[in-house]
Amino acid sequence: MAASIPKISWEQVSPAPVVLVFGKESFLADRALQRLRALLLLEDPELEVHDVDAGQYSDGALELIASPSLFDEPRLVRVANGVKATDAFIADVLRYLAQPVDGTTLVIRHDGSTVRGKKMLDAIRQTPGAIEVVCQPLKRGDMVPFARTELRLLEREATPGAIAALVDAFASDVSELANAIRQVALDTEGEVTEQVVRTYYAGRVETTAFAVVDAVVAGDVARALVTLRQAIATGADPVPIVAAFAMRYRQLAKVSGAGGSDSQAARQLGMQDWQVGNARRDLRSFTDASLCDAIEAIATADAAVKGAERSPGHSVERLVRQLAARTA
């Protein structure tokens, strides 16, 4: 039996004789199809594209579509609805896999919600030269790496706080998250910061992470703990929450060492006047020693939520209590 074919993510997709796009996340599947078409067009602008609905397929259609044309243009055959494939389609694909047509790329989309077409899927996964693009729904912990990748593809730099804000606001829908990242990347210049995100998406980015941080800095520990526990109970990722703490306290540390007026300090630190003013107001609750202790506690919590301890949720709650105890 042939070895199983490679399983890759959407951004790794490249032309192959047969491509299986498998999984329930339609946004990632669409991304894979768009990337594959773009790559094939780069190879040959005369690419012919044909769309097939596997659920409405009639016998023999695949052979006609995939066969070389008079001028031998390359072909991309995109098959949707593989989860409802007709018996005729399954039979024709099994025949096709025995001898794929040169110059034709056959892409089959199957969301895996049923076992319909299992024999066909098994055959594709044993076909030499084929690839499988995995498009499963992203878990909460996958959203931060996804956001980083999106920004990298757009050639934009972003702070950890900005990424945390975006993920915290849009992680319920990967397509919304991607669109939000693209929009803020296209409409702003320079490094994308947490403040840029919060300003740009005012009203939407009333996020859990920053709500917890705001409550702690304001000295409202009870509200911080309630907000945090509700977030953890509904599946919030502790990593962006700790990142939000790190961003805020680094900002406090920068402002604490700056002299001059708010506007002078803002120019020196690359911040807005009002940001400096707010930070100086918050710093009234800290001594130099308590601020240093807080930053050390955040560094410890960052390691804890990234695997150093078994319970990230408990690590974040401990951080909230520690920071509350260290205000002046």
Tens of pLDDT, residue by residue over 40-55, are 999 999 999 999 999 9
CA 164 vs CA 194, 208, 284: distances in Å: 8, 10, 26
The partner residues of 158 in beta bridges, in order of sequence, read 192
Residues of the chain falling short of pLDDT 70: 1-3, 69-71, 202-208, 234-236, 326-328
Q: What is the DSSP letter of 82?
A: G
Residue 53 has a pLDDT of: 95
The percentage of residues in the chain with a pLDDT greater than 90, rounded to a whole number, is 41
Q: For residue 34, which of 141, 103, 128, 109 has the smallest C-alpha distance?
A: 109
Entry pTM: 0.61
Please report the sign of the dihedral spanned by the C-alpha atoms of residue 212, residue 145, residue 173, residue 121: negative
The domains of the chain, with CATH numbers, are 7-134 (3.40.50.300), 139-205 (1.10.8.60), 207-328 (1.20.272.10)
Residue 123 has a pLDDT of: 96
Residue 73 has a pLDDT of: 85
Residue 187 has a pLDDT of: 80
End-to-end CA distance of the chain: 69
Tokens describing residue 26:
């339609």
Residue 1 has a pLDDT of: 46
Which amino acid would we find at residue 113?
Answer: S
Residue 172 has a pLDDT of: 72
Rounded to the nearest angstrom, the gap between the alpha carbon of residue 213 and the centroid of all alpha carbons in its chain is: 23
Contact 325, 287 (CB under 8 A): no
Residue 204 has a pLDDT of: 52
